[in-house]
Chain A
Amino acid sequence: MSDVIITRQLTKYYGPKCVVDSVELRVPQGSVYGLLGRNGAGKSTIIKMLLGMTHASYGRAEVFGEDAAALRPDTRRRIAYLAEGHPLYRWMRIDDAARFVRSFYPEFNNRLLDQILEHFGLARRARIRRLSNGQRAQVSLALAVAQEPELLILDDPTLGLDTVVRRDFLESLIQIIQRKGRTILFSSHILGDVERVADRIGILVDGVLRVDCPTEHFKESIRKVVLEFESEPPEFPDCGGLVSSHQVGTRRELVIVGFNGEHHRMAESLSPRSMEVLELNLEDAFIEYTRGPRRSLPILAGEENHAQ
């Protein structure tokens, strides 16, 4: 299976700040790839670089084998893009927006657009400025899908939508995915959304792509290990797969990817009073992966203050 998107050492600086750091990303054809990360992790910047809206400081991105910084109109026609916040011309009616978009795409599927609008209960005469965020997202999705794209790129498509609209939106997305084996890349910080639709995930932490694997593989390979000690817990030695190591009272909590016998032996060598190996759901795994070393330190400092 060929890769629709390939990035090599993709890096972006805004002034002295590195927001995307040497990202090596591959999105196979026909896959649904969920790009995860906290706010400011670099998801939107990567997507904008893939579409030539933002220029890379170093490295290169290719979409359909073409340099993303200079996509030809013919290649751009094969890609539908939903930008964050679903920007549309608010003075337009849905019909105006459809006419505007249609004029750029000879393959535009008007019948499909009508079907999707009807499914969402949206009238073509409705003015976009009078629509709710959720309805605007639906219009954007309908316009994007009606372009009959081979690649659909969605930047945080469910941001700002309530639970019901979000669920409705995702179910529509699943139906779309089932059509013609499209490739979909979407970013999100809502784990449930990704879990529902993505077959492969990438996790960005401070601009670095820390995880790039099938969703199931990520869920299966990450474990939380809780070591209970009589007194002050010792440091856990740095090793491959160790995501985080935190001291909580007399416990040491470890998060390890690909937990194996060697990790087990290393933990036992610290002579803990008890050891518990826990499975994590995707949300917990993501939180452990992305929250970094800042976790719990302010709380501990607060407790010390109270104790004094």
Chain B
Amino acid sequence: MLSNLAWKELRETTWIAGVALLAFGYQTFTAMGVGLAPWHNYGWVEPIPFVHGEFTAGFGFVAFCLAMALGFRQSVGESAFGTYLFLLHRPASRLRLIGTKLAVGLGLCLVCSSLPILGYAFWAATPGTHPGPFEWSMTAEVWKVWLAVTIVYFGAVLSGIRPGRWYGTRLLPLVGAGVLAILVASVPWTVMVALAVVLIIDAALVAATLFAARQRDYP
């Protein structure tokens, strides 16, 4: 039964991943110096991949947008289409229903946002593609941003599920998650430390989401 729920979630969110992949593709090819559009800006081409930060900044922007869109589609979308009542009456615990949603969203978010990093890194690792050096350790910063994307995703889901009297208080979890995500991405931690911090924040956000999903009314 949960595989059917996972299929439903994938079917509803694939288009968001598709749009994000197009944006990632444009940004990655631009970083590689491949002009896809007449307005192509060769100033975005990094002399040494991953070091100058242009790719990481662009990647972070698209990935954070993807995480927010996925989080809101999966939470606010059910409210907007009035389907929470249909979904939550299915004979499975609320923990499993919401947990499956989160697992699918998180998986899609991570897989989708890892592709441009891997594509760009493999291109950079291929001899003769650019004049600069390349070491895999140079990708550490962008992987930290990749980890931080999960915080934004869970923040968006919590904002969508948690009831609030007005948009300001309702968006509070997302704003908080955004600040924490930027912090994780910008503080000069090692990837392992960043991973530990992200896991703690994600666990807190997931717990808050499951609590809100159990406690709230579904009008």
Which A residues are closer than 8 A to B by beta carbons?
48, 51, 53-55, 73-74, 76-77, 79, 81, 83, 85, 87-91, 99-101, 103-105
Contact = CB atoms under 8 A, between A and B. Distances in A.
27 contacts: A48-B217, A48-B218, A53-B85, A53-B218, A54-B217, A54-B219, A55-B217, A74-B91, A76-B90, A79-B89, A81-B89, A83-B82, A83-B86, A83-B89, A85-B82, A87-B81, A87-B82, A87-B83, A88-B86, A89-B12, A89-B83, A89-B86, A90-B81, A91-B11, A103-B1, A103-B5, A105-B91
A81 B218 CA distance: 14
A101 B4 CA distance: 9
Nearest to A143: B86
Nearest to A102: B4
Contacts of A76: 89-91
A104 B218 contact: no
A260 to B, nearest CB: 43
Interface of B: 1, 3-5, 8, 11-12, 81-86, 88-93, 215, 217-219
A91 B91 contact: no
B215 A100 contact: no
Pick the most buried of B11, B12, B86: most chain A CB atoms within 10 A of its CB: B86
A53 B91 contact: no
B9 to A, nearest CB: 11
B167 to A, nearest CB: 18
A104 B81 contact: no
Nearest to B165: A15
Given A73-B93, A81-B89, A104-B92, A55 B215 contact: yes
B8 A100 contact: yes
Contacts of B82: 83, 85, 87
